Structure 1
Amino acid sequence: MVPEAEFTSYYGRPIVKPSPWEADIPAYLFAGGLAAGSSLIAAGADVTGRPVLRRAGRLAALGALSISMAALVHDLGKPSRFTNMLRTAKPTSPMSVGTWILSMYGPFAGLAAAAEVTSLLPEQVRSRGPLRLVGLLGRPAGLVAAVCAPPVAAYTAVLLSDTATPSWHSAYKELPFVFVGSASAAAAGVGMIAAPTHETGPVRRMAAAGALLELAMEQRMERSMGVTAEPLHHGKAGRLMRAAKVLTAAGAAGTLVAGRSRALAAASGAALVLGSACTRFGVFEAGQESAKDPKYTVVPQRERLEREGPVRYQP
């Protein structure tokens, strides 16, 4: 009998090096998605006359964006490395494209949040020169931020799946949909926490739709990934992904029955926010684990060879 093959590599080293990224990056992924979803909610609340929800969305977008940028800069080591990436624009690089997307989105999200802060000042103060101009630009800036928001929510999934890390790369078709659904659910959760129930009807529907999209595409993703889906079910990544599914499903169910209960709406919103964070951290941890085990690199390669045959190079 031939013994079962063991997947090893030279000198015990991984075939694919695990990413040098640390906990800063999943925090960056989560906060960026939350900021994008919050900007969309704020713009919708602005044009439909929901002032508390608009304020919550704009301020949440700025706060989440600040956390996201701080995590990214901390991972890069110093702020100048972020600005250095703006020297060129490379459409084939998700990092370059993402840098420009954030650079376009950030100022408008910040201006919209600044307009919200000035609206809290006394009339005689906010009616003066620069502050008055900031207040007038609040709506246009918020609408531009909302237009830029979907790419902000989706590009981080492209950033992960464009790497050689097995569990990230094999999820390239579905991961953007998972992240967009997760961002929508998390942002809607913040809106449900911060705004009164008479303003959050559309937000509750957005929360349920985002949660459903996340859960459905996550299931489809795991089926399409083959053997590289295994790290999503084991160890730390498995615990995070199970928690994400439970929290997201519970939060979505809560939005459907919350009605006029502010407490239930807030609890459901908190579950959605935590579920979204667990999804980002779980996907991140699964990718790191898949890079450490040669099996997740070798088995997909062999399966592709069996399907497609050897690559033929033309002289």
Structure 2
Amino acid sequence: MTSSEYDQFRPQRPPRKGKGRKGAGRRRGGDDLMVPQAEVEQLDARGYYGHPVVKAPPWEWPVGAYLFLGGVAGGSGLLAAGAQLSGRKTLRRNARLAGLGSAGLGAVALLADLGRPERFLHMLRTFKVTSPMSVGSWILVSYSGTIGLAAVNEVDRMLGDRLPLGPLRRVLRAVEAPAGLGAGLLGAPLAAYTAVLLSDTAMPTWNAAHRDLPFVFVSSASLAAGGLALVTTGAEQATPARNLAVLGVVGEVIATRTMHRRMDPVAAEPLHTGTPGTLMQWSEGLAIAGGVGALAAGARPGRARRVLAALSGVALMAASACTRFGVFQAGLNSAADPRYTIEPQKRRLAQRRAAGITGDSITGA
């Protein structure tokens, strides 16, 4: 007889009655069930032997940090491209450096979660369109390369062309403009692919938010990047950053409320309770306060304008961080309770049957 590590979770079998063919017939008749009927009926409340139906990924806070930093990097790349096209050199420089720094720190957080750096290189061995992880890895590498080329030129100019580049300086100057625009094009996919990655899992809350979560993340990235630019850039060139931040605030509030309304009410519960619920509430409050402050800063004169813009920028970045960490933790929490998996499934099954769909593998016996 073989044993398994899962034997400890099996219920004890009732004592056998009778011997020979009589006892065997009774067992074949169903008296010795692996899962008693009573436990099957209670599955919606307790899960399988009291354990979760789905297994949460072993992700910790570095993944949440990567979600936030990836959004800042993507939004900064888009903002830098706009500053490049409009001739705002200070904003272009600050946004490029912010994009490179955020992407670098995000990569460090990602590697910290992976444990071994070579695991990230393994993800680059192939390119699979149907895998959000594969596509996202290539987006991150491509964005880092393009924003890095643009940022090196900015650092060289800041140091008075003193970097030991030699003939390479002319090459870097030639590719600077295309690299900056390329980073701008990759900024939105970088900010959004993590939402697709989360939604593609079996975590109930993440999966239920798949229609609206990319819009939430892109809006969150916009207000975060705009907020960082308000902190680092003077008011005379920060108008595009302020506009991007305000648009991000409006987009995030609308997208987040729409997401909550369209999700299954049970699957949405983790976004409203516990630590994730607190983070989501703070996110909306900080976003609105930062957006109002950014608008007010545009009408203030002198030093007060600069201080208010910086404070608004900090509030906007904090709002984006609360959104990313709130969504991240809510998805992990939803995997721990079988109710978040089973009740939405039963509701979808009832809806399909009510609509007359009874001939497929989902609604059939």
Q: TM-score range by the shorter chain?
A: over 0.9
Matched residue pairs, number?
Answer: 310
Displacement of 1:136: 3.5
Displacement of 1:138: 2.1
Structure with max Cα Rg: 2
Aligned position for 1:240: 279
Q: Given that residues 156 and 162 in structure 2 are in contact (C-alpha distance below 8 angstroms), is that contact kept between their aligned partners in structure 1?
A: no
Q: Given that residues 297 and 309 in structure 2 are in contact (C-alpha distance below 8 angstroms), is that contact kept between their aligned partners in structure 1?
A: yes
In 2, distance between residues paired with 1:258 and 1:130? 42
AA partner of residue 149 (structure 2): L
In the alignment, structure 1 segments of 5+ residues that lack a partner are none
Alignment of 1:114-263 (within 5 A): 114-123=152-161, 128-225=166-263, 226-259=265-298, 260=300, 261-263=305-307
Displacement of 1:126: 7.3
Higher relative contact order (CA 8 A, sep 6+): 1
Aligned position for 2:92: 54
In 1, distance between residues paired with 2:167 and 2:278? 54
Q: Tell me, what secondary structure is at the counterpart of 2:311?
A: helix
AA partner of residue 166 (structure 1): P
Q: Given that residues 9 and 294 in structure 1 are in contact (C-alpha distance below 8 angstroms), is that contact kept between their aligned partners in structure 2?
A: yes
List per-residue Cα deviations over 1:149-202 (Å, max 9, x = no partner). 111111000000000000000000000000000000000001111111111112
**Is residue 290 from structure 1 mapped to residue 308 from structure 2 by the alignment?**
no
List per-residue Cα deviations over 1:92-137 (Å, max 9, x = no partner). 1111111111122110011111111011122476784223432332
In 1, distance between residues paired with 2:77 and 2:253? 23
Q: Given that residues 226 and 245 in structure 2 are in contact (C-alpha distance below 8 angstroms), is that contact kept between their aligned partners in structure 1?
A: yes
Structure with a larger share of its residues in helix: 1
Aligned position for 2:79: 41
Aligned position for 2:46: 8
Deviates more, 1:156-165 or 1:240-249: 240-249
Closer/same/farther in 2, CA of residues 256 and 169 from structure 1, 3 Å limit: same
Closer/same/farther in 2, CA of residues 50 and 167 from structure 1, 3 Å limit: same
**Counterpart pick for 1:266 among 310, 316, 337:** 310
In the alignment, structure 2 segments of 5+ residues that lack a partner are 1-41
Q: Tell me, what secondary structure is at the counterpart of 2:275?
A: helix
RMSD of Structure 2 on Structure 1 (CA): 1.6
AA partner of residue 282 (structure 2): A
AA partner of residue 295 (structure 2): L
In 2, distance between residues paired with 1:298 and 1:99? 32
In 2, distance between residues paired with 1:82 and 1:143? 26
List per-residue Cα deviations over 1:219-239 (Å, max 9, x = no partner). 010111121111111111111
Percent of aligned pairs with the same residue? 49
AA partner of residue 194 (structure 2): T
Shift >4 Å, 4+ stretches: 123-127
In 2, distance between residues paired with 1:269 and 1:213? 17
In 2, distance between residues paired with 1:102 and 1:182? 18
TM-score, with structure 1 as normaliser? 0.94
**Counterpart pick for 2:360 among 296, 312, 315:** 312
